[in-house]
Amino acid sequence: MSINFPLLLVIAVAVCGLLALSDLLFFAPRRRAAIANYEGRTGEIDPSTLEALNKEPVLIEYGKSFFPVLAIVLVLRSFLVEPFQIPSGSMIPTLEVGDFILVNKFAYGIRLPVVDTKVIEVSDPKRGDVMVFRYPNEPSINYIKRVVGLPGDVVRYSSDRRLFVNDQPVAETLVGEEPGSLGSAVLYREKLGEMEHLIRKEMGRYRIEPSRQWTVPDDHYFMMGDNRDNSNDSRYWQDESIPSELAGMVPDRNIVGKAFAVWMSWPDPKLSNLPNFSRVGLIH
């Protein structure tokens, strides 16, 4: 069962906020009145009695303590930066399994938490951006891929594994064999828009896929992984519940944000190895 963490966080902030507000408007005035009444009858008040009369109910105390912390987390996570961990190798060599990344939540517009409605326009995704989004076929799952096609683009992936955008081949330059692959995988430097990045292709593939072409609809994006032969992306997504022309496309409403940095790596926490910071840096 997937947990809707943004919804739980909003509920927690609302509950704690209501507890803090109820103390401000109701319980705190009652405590002050009780103290004033006691002083009026006795003329003085000892510290222990003052402490007892001024003691907050347990729920109020916890609510007031947690509210500012949860509110800050909500604002940071919803509107500024959200952390994610990479679960698969679909973005190798750019991102490795176990990389912890930071995602800019306002790069593509300010969206309300939970409902994900865009309320303030900022900018649109660009070709070459690494973007986190909700998987169109299962919106509760977050995916990360590279933006290849913008609204109106015609994207083609040929049988010899070359990428074309609007009938123009995307520039790629051979870098060399992937270290440790014994020649089974090769790295290329690809340029999408203004972004240059590495992609990975496997040389020992036996199945040749046919050339395919897609036209990107308005308010949608075509996404691909940098590990071109091992990525579940826009080339393969199918969903019988949506029109065929939208199959594989990521709608604007599913965008989470732009991935911009790796801040830690921890490939397998179950093993004895510790997290490391050797891959810390900006994402290209």
What backbone phi and psi angles, to 5 degrees, belong to 277? -125, 25
Active-site choice (78, 105, 145, 231): 145
Kindly name the residue from 2, 48, 65, 90 that is annotated as catalytic: 90
List 257's β-bridge partners, or say none.
Answer: 132
Give the Cα separation of 249 and 245 in Å (integer): 8
88 is catalytic: no
Torsion of CA 152, 153, 156, 161, to 10 degrees: -140
Listed residue (88, 110, 109, 85) closest to 99, CA to CA: 85
The DSSP string of 47-71 is: HHHHHHHTPPPHHHHHHHHHHHHHH
Element (DSSP H or E) covering residue 198: strand 195-202
272 is catalytic: no
How far apart CA 120 and CA 229 sit, in angstroms, is: 37
| Buried b / exposed e along 246-267 (16+ C-beta atoms within 10 A) | ebbbbbbbbbbbbbbebebbee
| Number of CB atoms found within 10 A of residue 214's CB | 19
Distance, in Å, from the CA atom of 91 to the CA atom of 163, rounded to the nearest integer, reads: 16
CA 17, CA 23: separation in Å to the nearest integer? Answer: 10
Residues 6+ apart with CB under 8 A from 52: none
Measured distance CA(160)–CA(208) in Å, rounded: 8
Catalytic residues: 90, 145
